A and B are shown apart, each in its own frame.
Chain A
Amino acid sequence: MIHPKTQHVVDARYMEPPEPFVQTMEMLDTLKPGEKMLLLLFREPHPLYKVLRQNGYTYETELLADGTFEILIWR
């Protein structure tokens, strides 16, 4: 999936927990320095936010009209 914000996208909108968390962690492992990834969800993943902060990641969240939360993550 290609997205204007980045080409590294996990569309977890129709996945059951803990799959969104697992797939995000796996994609973060594959990112090269300077690259960003985008997670799409129908909710704000607060437990993930916490793990991201603890591991030195930054994130930015935008709520779209259809209820999708776009979470852009980078280090």
Chain B
Amino acid sequence: MQAMLAFQNAPPFAAPLRFFLTAPLFSLAAGLLLLAGGPELLASRWTPGLLAATHLITVGFMLQVMLGALIQILPVVAGVNLGDPLRVARWLHAGLSAGALLLAGGFLLSQPAALSAAALTLGLTITAFLVVSGQALAGVPSTSPTIRGLKVALTGLAGAVGLGVALALAIAHGWAVPLPALTDLHVGWALGGWAGILLAAMAFVVVPMFQLTPGYPARPSWWFPRLMIGLMLVWALAVYLDSAAAIRIIQAAVALLGIAFLLLTLRLQMQRRRARADATYRYWQLGLAGAILALFMALTATIWPPLADLAGWSPFAGILLLVGGFMSFIIGMLYKIVPFLAWLHLQNQVKPGKPAPNMSKIMPDAAMQRQMRAHAAALALLLAAAIQPEWLARPAGAALALASGWLFFNLQGAALRYRMHLQELDRETRVA
């Protein structure tokens, strides 16, 4: 039976790893942008520099890791393989990286040509990914809330990218469209309809698995993806009908639904059976706190809209949700996934009866915890900078760059140790 341990057809490590190693460089670039741009960057949510930095984080960091991880995780959580995952990984990684750079450059330099090129590159790349992953998932019955969530999240991604492409082209060509309403809708689809549903679908599996918590109750897990995407569709309709009151009510419902999921996750974490608080657990605690607070701010602003016009309000909430929430969840998961994949691939190479090197040797917990403190410090500085940009914008940018560089260093170290062990095994096999 030992031979059965080999997980055949797991995508090669190189497929997801390229995404994980590039992503921190984009958040590092966002930090450098803030360091160079200084306080003017945070003057409002519409400054070219802040739009560039935001997309370096959302497309360059978040989308990069999320799609890279999906290639790896589809066989595990849905039992489907993308045909030739390494080839998919290559063009997807190239398209996302080029698209994110073009988009950030286009915003920063107010270059219509770059914005159009970014829209084309990201639009085509992600459409191709949606076709490939949609084909793989089409024949799979939704036997778990995770599979249903994945399918719905891909619909959310299609909506988010469609709106993003339309907005980028509208800005590039000066089309007359209701920019603020469409931008809010784009943000809703990207963070709620795509990232939020994907996060939940993954959390249903990874929170109990890696943090040894109870499972997510079945009924709300089945409903969450459908409710969220339903709200997104109604939101789009409300924008089309130009009904400000309806938009506010829907935004409040989205925030409440998000808060409900996050509070449920928090409750499960409190019942966990793992005594030790590892880096993943702490990152998720930070993520939950950040995201809950950010959504409460969004909820409050729907009840009393003038709040959102306060100086610093939008950047503060945005930083809290992106750097505090999503980045924390994603890095927390990377710190489990990367050592686990390295271990899994090494385990498949070693001779029967001989264990692969321990996961903690591939990525030491102390290194992850230290990087996490740098990330938390960067978050605190960024939040303070949203209120007091004059003094703190540049230090906050430097802190984000430092935390991201450190993340790159940790992940790159794990990849190097993996290759070292692989070469050792190779030598042993040749000697034997």
Contacts and interface: CB of A to CB of B under 8 A. Distances in A.
Interface string A1-32: 00000000000011011100110011011000
Contacts of B77: 43-44, 46
B182 interface: no
A28 B5 CA distance: 13
Interface residues of B, number: 30
B221 A43 contact: no
Contacts of A47: 7, 10, 75-76
B129 interface: no
A21 B5 CA distance: 8
B162 interface: no
A67 B217 contact: yes
Given A46-B75, A66-B214, A51 B4 contact: yes
Given A17-B340, A50-B79, A67-B221, A43 B214 contact: no
Given A17-B209, A43-B208, A44-B144, A67 B214 contact: yes
A43 B209 contact: yes
Contacts of A68: 215
Nearest to B204: A43
A74 B111 CA distance: 63
B4 A55 contact: yes
B170 to A, nearest CB: 42
A61 B79 CA distance: 14
Given A17-B340, A25-B5, A44 B219 contact: no
Contacts of A67: 204, 208, 214-218, 221
Interface string A31-72: 000000000001110110111000100000101111111000
Contacts of B273: 14
Contacts of B9: 50
Given A29-B1, A47-B75, A63 B144 contact: yes
B427 to A, nearest CB: 26
B146 interface: yes
Nearest to A67: B215
B212 interface: yes
B4 A25 contact: yes
Contacts of B217: 65-67
A61 to B, nearest CB: 7
B215 A61 contact: no
A46 B79 contact: yes
Nearest to B206: A43
Interface of B: 1, 4-5, 7-10, 75-79, 143-144, 146, 204-205, 208-210, 212, 214-219, 221, 273, 340
Interface of A: 13-14, 16-18, 21-22, 25-26, 28-29, 42-44, 46-47, 49-51, 55, 61, 63-69
30 contacts: A13-B208, A13-B214, A14-B273, A16-B209, A18-B5, A25-B1, A26-B1, A29-B1, A42-B209, A43-B144, A43-B146, A43-B204, A43-B205, A43-B209, A43-B215, A44-B79, A44-B146, A46-B75, A46-B78, A46-B79, A47-B7, A47-B75, A47-B76, A61-B143, A63-B218, A64-B218, A65-B217, A66-B214, A66-B218, A69-B144
